[in-house]
Structures are given as C-alpha cells and as structure tokens.
Amino acid sequence: MSRVVVVGSANLDLVVGVPRLPAPGETVLGSDVVTGPGGKGANQAVAAHRLGAETLLVAALGDDRFGTDLRAALAREGLPLDRLVTRAGIATGVALIVVEAAGENTIVVAPGANARLDDSSLDGLFAPGDVLVLQLEIPLETCLAAARRARDAGASVLLNAAPLPPAGAAALTELLGVVDVLVVNEGEARQLGGDARALLRHGPAACVVTLGARGAVSADGTGARTHPPFPVDAVDTTGAGDTFCGALAVGLASGIDLDQAVRRGCAAGALATTRMGAQSAMPTGAELDLFLAAEKEAAHA
C-alpha cells in the first residue's frame, strides 16, 4: 500500500450536546462541554491510520496547553510527530461544535496556528505513489504549494474542498486544476456550480459528492455513479465526512478503483456516526471489514 500524506489542520474540539439546534438569537441549554482532538486534517490522518495506511500528518499547533494535548493525542494514535510544527505565541486551533439529539451538528472554527502553516513545512515531503490529502482549514496557498509538489514527485492529490473560500478565489481555481480526486458535500457542490459530473470541468480527474445518510455520487471520465448508503442508528455525525475522506484515501493508496474506494468510504463514515465524537468514533480496519462482511451477508440472506 502507498503512503497517505495529510497536510491540514489540527484543532481542539469543544462539543456541547443540545436537544435541538438554536435559532438565530436563541439560547438553548446544553450538556457539559466535552473536549477532544479534531481538525479536518488531523481527523482524516487518524482515520487513514486506523484503517491501516502508513500515514503522515503535516500540521501547525500553538505553544499552549491545547497544542500539548493534541500532540499527546496524536502520539497515542501512533502517528509520527516529526512534521508537526509549533508556532510560538499563537493559539492552537479550536472548533466549537453543537450536536443536536438527532446527530446533526453546527461547527465554528477559530483557525489559530492552522492559519500559519506554510510551505516551509513541505520540504522533502513527497515520494512517488503517495496519496496527498488536503482540506481548506489551512491557507489556500499552502494547499496549492503542497499539491504542486506532490504532483511533481509523482504523488496523487485528493482535495476535500471544505470549508470553501469566498467565490472567485484565484488560488482555489488553480488548486482544482492540479487535483486528482475532489470530494465535496451537497452544499459545497452547489457553491462550485453543479453535480459531480459538472464539477469535472474545474479540472479534477474524478469528483465525489457526499450525500450524508443518502450515500454518495461519483463521476469521472467514464460517467457518474450512485453509491447507496449504509443504514445505521446515528448518534453523532461529527467527523463522518472526515472518516469518509480518510477511508477513500486509504482505498486509493491500496490500489482499488474509485467505486470500491467510495463504497468503503461510505461504510466507514456510517460506522463513525454510531459513536460520539470525531476521532474517538473512527473505525479500525478490522471493524470496517466486519461491517462490510455483515452487510454483504445480510444482502444475500
């Protein structure tokens, strides 16, 4: 299997459960705050590592307690720490997450040190065959530099284009032109101007639009395909999209085709919703294989 290299964000998540999401201007009483490691980059790296890929995370932390806690959490996962940089005098990124009883959530991110991750962290990073995984919680210019270096080194590029920058960002247009696989949700697809097939005009060789509990749609030069969901009893959707991306990257790194990789991504994302939290809910490779085997057996019963 090829290596998965994630260049992205690392945050401390502050999670509060509520009976329902508040309306604008409304106060809703919630549960006690639960803290845990997060950030789209760190989440996707943990997901890929748990699913069996050799995984490297490049991220920036602040020189504060949150940064120390995140470094320790990543070490416990077994991820190498040599590409984590510390920005002096800068706070570590924080995500404020509100989860309602049905599992849906709202998230606000304070980027902190993530906004200071630059291309100086990319030297000597990529090797032929690597799968680079990017998100947009770090500067666009850093993502673009990473994608170009990865391509030059013979690696492939997977971009989870979230959160989307303001319309018309020139660096995003350039970035989409050097992406092999683009992953977005329905809202992001609409902002970019179409469905999975239409998004190919931006430059990616393949696009995947995730549909939450309805599965996913993928498109490449051979056409578009619908990927059915894996029904589960969801309790928290936080991190499900990141789990999908991590599993998709592992599938591509292992050499399976896009459709198989998307199927494994849908299954891993569904499994992650059955437990609370982001990284804490992500399945291992063994758990994913058992889940897929059970689904296959049920389909043939």
HSE-CB at 27 with a 13 A cutoff on CA atoms is 1
242 catalytically annotated:
yes
- Give the long-range contacts of residues 106-110, CB within 8 A, separation 24 or more: 106/21, 107/238, 109/9, 109/11, 109/137, 109/163
Q: What does the alpha-carbon distance between residue 180 and residue 70 come to, in Å, rounded to a whole number?
A: 30
Q: For residue 163, say if its preceding peptide bond is cis, omega within 30 degrees of 0.
A: yes
Paired strand residues for 18: 100
Q: What does the alpha-carbon distance between residue 184 and residue 295 come to, in Å, rounded to a whole number?
A: 26
Q: What does the alpha-carbon distance between residue 157 and residue 185 come to, in Å, rounded to a whole number?
A: 18
Q: What does the alpha-carbon distance between residue 186 and residue 125 come to, in Å, rounded to a whole number?
A: 32
DSSP 113: G
Q: Which of 152, 195, 242, 259 is catalytic?
A: 242
Q: Which of 3, 95, 14 lies closest to 58, judged by CA?
A: 3
Tokens of 283: 């399945």
Q: Where are the beta strands (DSSP E) in the chain?
A: 4-7, 11-18, 34-38, 55-62, 84-87, 93-100, 105-110, 131-134, 156-160, 181-185, 206-210, 216-220, 223-227
Is residue 41 within 8 Å of residue 70, measured between CB atoms? no
Torsion of the alpha carbons at 167, 172, 74 and 208, rounded to the nearest 10? 90
Active-site positions? 242
